Chains A and B, each alone.
Chain A
Amino acid sequence: EPEVTQTPSHQVTQMGQEVILRCVPISNHLYFYWYRQILGQKVEFLVSFYNNEISEKSEIFDDQFSVERPDGSNFTLKIRSTKLEDSAMYFCASSALLGGNQPQHFGDGTRLSIL
């Protein structure tokens, strides 16, 4: 069964540095998402992406964050000037049709640790 893959599985970064998290969505999917889960807390929506532009973003997704689909297969989340509170699991997801009426398929996540 096709899977969403994320790399790296664990990223350790010094505070203030930039980090790029990478995702390869399922190949025929059209909608892409990033979520984060701070340890012990809920999974939180960050941003959705369709047709090469952001469709929806949450209050968390401020100017520190950006997303890009640099080619036909990758979908990236860039976090600039990382802070301690950015430490979390970051999940990428994709769906085939309108996300609200279709399941979203999640990757196993990248654990981001900010030191």
Chain B
Amino acid sequence: SQQGEEDPQALSIQEGENATMNCSYKTSINNLQWYRQNSGRGLVHLILIRSNEREKHSGRLRVTLDTSKKSSSLLITASRAADTASYFCATGSGGGADGLTFGKGTHLIIQP
């Protein structure tokens, strides 16, 4: 089965710095998505990148996808305290009503 695994498991940086999180997966995918989860809340969709795309931007977010290496990265620029959360990558096969496969996540802490 497809599986996203993020690294690092935890990341602590100063406000204003950039944060980079990585995700690896094992099988072919149709798309890869990144989600954020604040403590005790649901998952919030951040960005989706399709398998035929290499890079995508949304505001302060930049996502790259390397299908040859089966990996993706999420860059958050100019981090803010409100970015403190857990970040998950999720892969979809694109078949039917696609159930996503999530990784364990990266817990990001932004120090003020």
A: residues with CB less than 8 A from B are: 4, 31, 33, 35, 41-50, 55-56, 58, 91, 93, 98-109
Chain B interface residue number, banded: 20 to 34
B: residues with CB less than 8 A from A are: 30-31, 33, 35, 40-45, 48, 50, 88, 90, 92-105
B97 neighbours in A (Cβ, 8 Å) = 31, 33, 48-50, 55-56, 98-99
A33 touches B94 (CB 8 A): no
What is the CA–CA distance of A48 and B95 in the complex, to the nearest angstrom? Answer: 12
B30 touches A100 (CB 8 A): yes
User: Chain A contact residues: over half helix, strand or loop, or mixed?
Assistant: strand
Q: Quick one: which of A98, A106, A107 contacts B94, CB cutoff 8 A?
A: A98
B94 touches A101 (CB 8 A): yes
A100 neighbours in B (Cβ, 8 Å) = 30-31, 92-96, 98
